[in-house]
Amino acid sequence: MSHREINDSGLPEQTVASSHFRRWWIWLLSAALAVVGAYVWLAGDAGTPARSTGQGAKSEAPAVPVSAVSAKMDDIGVYLSGLGTVTPLNAVTVKSRVDGQLMNVLFREGEIVEKGKLLAEIDPRPFHALLTQAEGQLIRDQAQLGNAQLDLRRYQALAEQDSIAKQQYDTQQSLVNQLEGIVKVDQGQMENARLQLVYSRITAPLNGRIGLRQIDPGNIVHATDANGLAVITQLQPIAVIFSIPEDSLSRVLKRLKSSARLHVEAFDREMKEKLATGYLLTVDNQIDPNTGTVKFKAVFPNDRNELFPNQFVNARLLVEVMHDKVIVPAAAIQRGPRGAFVYTVKADRTVEMRLVTVGISEEGKTSVTAGLSPGEMVVVEGAEKLREGGKVALKGRNGSTGKR
């Protein structure tokens, strides 16, 4: 016989207690469900609106907040864009034109120098000695020439009197001519010595920014040195060389033949900041067969040094200005399966989806050639939430697309 106690029903005591426990939980769960059901029924009955003889009006959808502007009649430019490189109009390697010891360097690296500024000095003493020697030779030969000319005048008088042979007079004339030639040579040597002395003072050949020094004072420099002392690049004005597809070449050449000055704008790499404004100088004489592009050269005043040599920029060439076009912000143009469209805001503050024909786009503005009239309001912000005929609420101040 088991050790568990047996109750009056003949079942073990533990089994009876477990059965009572399950019945108690079932009763408690049923009571909770009844309370929840009563609450839901009462809440639904209280929230049911009173029925009237007619059907209740449907709730109106809330207005969508949007920003809108008016389409305007304005001018818009036709631009050609290309990647360009800033190139100095002139770049000069400053070299010594004579051989000698570099005594002084009189420029600071990176400074702006003017044409004629003294940059460096070569030891001038050897050139002073050469100049002195040339001057001495010239004086000696001029004295000999003077004496020969006196003798020639004497021989001439004697020859007229038939006192000397004609040959003697001719010989003296030849001697004078020789000495005149020697004097000319001496004068050239003296001028060359003076020129070498001038070359010992190295000056800037143009206005521009001088680069890093390539040689230090005390070194021996030669006229044949490849690197030179430094490089000067002209910064004002400065050029930008950029490439344009060959298909646009005829259009540009036509404008150039009409003597029109085509404006060029230089932007940074991300096309966000305009760096400078200049004009087209010339077009290259051949098309690159590898890329199908032609090189254009534009000039910029660069008064504030906005452009720097070898800097990469985005160049935009203004080819033509189209007048009196319907202009809207580029953000107003939407794209769909049926093409480009805009949302126009009607007088009752509902929107209409309007198919449009898009023309030229530039600097956040787009021309519309068909489908829109000046003065109509178009949505520029919040269009992604709109549907045909939907209500809108205009937020903020309504802008407009004005002239640049």
Task: Give the domain CATH number at 193.
Answer: 1.10.287
Are residues 224 and 239 both part of a single domain? Answer: no
- pLDDT score at 28: 67
Are residues 207 and 114 both part of a single domain? Answer: yes
Are residues 330 and 312 both part of a single domain? Answer: no
Are residues 274 and 289 both part of a single domain? Answer: yes
pLDDT digits (tens, 9 = 90+) for 325-354: 898 998 889 888 888 999 999 888 888 898
Task: Give the domain CATH number at 393.
Answer: 2.40.420.20
Task: Give the domain CATH number at 211.
Answer: 2.40.50.100
Phi, psi of 298 (to 5 degrees): -115, 150
- pLDDT score at 117: 95
For the residues 293-321, what does the mean pLDDT come to?
93
Are residues 194 and 243 both part of a single domain? Answer: no
Decide the pairing of beta strands 399-400 and 64-70.
parallel
For the residues 311-323, what does the mean pLDDT come to?
91
Taking the C-alpha atoms of residue 355 and residue 351, their distance in angstroms, rounded to an integer, is 13
- pLDDT score at 278: 95
pLDDT digits (tens, 9 = 90+) for 283-301: 999 999 999 999 999 999 9
For the residues 77-81, what does the mean pLDDT come to?
88
Residue numbers of the domain that contains 369: 66-75+324-400
**Confidence band (pLDDT; 50, 70, 90) for 45?**
very low
Question: Does some domain include residue 58?
Answer: no
Of the residues 323, 348, 364, which one is the last residue of a structural domain? 323
Q: Check residues 363 and 115 and name the one with the higher pLDDT.
A: 115
**Confidence band (pLDDT; 50, 70, 90) for 23?**
low
Are residues 312 and 359 both part of a single domain? Answer: no
Whether 127 and 270 have beta carbons less than 8 Å apart is answered as no
Asked if the model's pLDDT at residue 216 lies above 90, the reply is: yes
Asked if the model's pLDDT at residue 235 lies above 70, the reply is: yes
Write the CA distances from 191 to 179, 186, 205, 388, integer angstroms: 18, 9, 22, 92
Question: Does some domain include residue 57?
Answer: no
117's tokens: 């500024």
- pLDDT score at 221: 95
Are residues 288 and 343 both part of a single domain? Answer: no
For the residues 191-220, what does the mean pLDDT come to?
95
Taking the C-alpha atoms of residue 189 and residue 131, their distance in angstroms, rounded to an integer, is 8
Amino acid in position 67: S
Regarding pTM above 0.85, the answer is: no
3-state secondary structure of 33: helix
Are residues 306 and 341 both part of a single domain? Answer: no
Using omega within 30 degrees of 0 as the cis cutoff, is the peptide bond preceding 124 cis?
Answer: no
- pLDDT score at 135: 95
Asked if the model's pLDDT at residue 398 lies above 80, the reply is: no
The lowest-confidence range among 29-43, 121-135, 282-296, 313-327 is 29-43
Domain count, the chain: 5
Question: Does some domain include residue 161?
Answer: yes
- pLDDT score at 402: 40
Task: Give the domain CATH number at 268.
Answer: 2.40.30.170
Are residues 214 and 332 both part of a single domain? Answer: no
Are residues 83 and 22 both part of a single domain? Answer: no
Are residues 318 and 328 both part of a single domain? Answer: no
Asked if the model's pLDDT at residue 114 lies above 90, the reply is: yes
Question: Does some domain include residue 355?
Answer: yes
401's tokens: 């697309």
For the residues 15-24, what does the mean pLDDT come to?
52
Are residues 11 and 31 both part of a single domain? Answer: yes
